[in-house]
Each structure stands twice: as C-alpha cells, then as structure tokens.
Amino acid sequence: MNHAVRADRLEFVLENMNFEWSIVQLRQVIDYWFEGKSIYDMSDLLKREIDELVILIVDMAKRRILLERPRGLRACGKIAITDKEMALKKSRVCHLFEESPVYIPFIESNLLWYERDLIQFRKLWSEGQSIVEIAEYFGRNIEEIMFPILDQCRKELIEPREGGLLGKEATADDLIRQSFPV
C-alpha cells in the first residue's frame, strides 16, 4: 500500500538577492547616507538593487551606524556629523569583517518560510495587519518580516498599501512620515 504524504514546501525568500557587501561599499553607504542621498541615488551609484540597500540600511540602523533621517530613505539635507564621529562609524564596520571578507546583513535571520505561512502572510498583509502584528503572529522578529514583504512584492503576490508597514494602524502622521511606501 502506497501512502503519499504531501509535505509543505519550504521557500527561501529573496533567494535571488545579493546579500554580500564589501567594506568599501559599506563605507560608501555611510557617506551617501550622511550626505542625504536618496535610496534611489544610492542604488544607482552603488549599482545595487534598492531591496538590497533597504536590507543593509535597516541592519546598519539597528547597529546604530546610521542615524534616523528626517525624510527617511528619501533625499534630504546633509546630516551634521563631526569628522571624529564619521571616522568612528566607519571603523565600526571593520568589526563586521572579522570572520569573512564580505558582510552579509541579517545572516543570523531565518529566511526560510513554509508555503502555508507565506499564504497566511499574504492574507494578513491584505487585511492591513501591521508588521508588528504579523511578526507576533508568526513568532518572528520584526526584521524577519521585512524579507517576505520584499520577496512577495518582487513576485507581485502582494501590493503596496496605503498604510505601508503599519497597515491599518497607520495614523495620518505616520503616513506623512513614511519614507518608503511598501
């Protein structure tokens, strides 16, 4: 007797993305960030996809290498920073290369998702659930929810929404402050 078992397929989100960054590129990102360049300008200058840059910027902000900017990922005025502070920020990225010649942001994050979970993710997204609620639902870090958002947008399985990452919880002020509509 043959018993077929249907296993839920595992998917690696953002499997075609280049996560590797050199020290030179990281230092350029720091310069461009504090010069006030938009994410689109940085993408052109670095010859990297915007999604790759978004992941790196979130990682560097989490590590407190990049500061919050008034216009987020959009172009803004130059951010005042002393030469000493800039040198310190650039030296901090050296520590990211102690074990490897390239840096991979969020290497410790779980990029594997079951197909059924991606289906549920799309449902929660379309219902307007916030990134915080989605993270709680799946028992994952908020940063890990960023990956299926980018992946599913790239595959055109979810649409950008008015409330962006905050979904239906976004206030009028949040909508004004949002810098990258997802």
pLDDT in tens, 102-132: 998 888 888 889 999 999 999 999 999 998 9
Q: Are residues 91 and 120 in the same domain?
A: no
Give residue 108's pLDDT: 84
Give residue 26's pLDDT: 95
From 97, 123, 141, give the residue that closes a domain: 97
**pLDDT profile of the chain (182 residues), mean per 10:** 62 83 95 95 95 92 89 88 91 87 87 92 93 94 90 90 74 57 38
Nearest alpha carbon to residue 150 among 28, 66, 57: 57
Q: Residue 134 sits in a domain of what CATH number?
A: 1.10.10
Q: Does 17 fall in a domain?
A: no
Domain count, the chain: 2
113 contacts 121 by C-beta, under 8 angstroms: yes
Domain span at residue 49 reads 23-97
What residues are paired with 112 via a beta bridge? Answer: 12
Give residue 179's pLDDT: 47
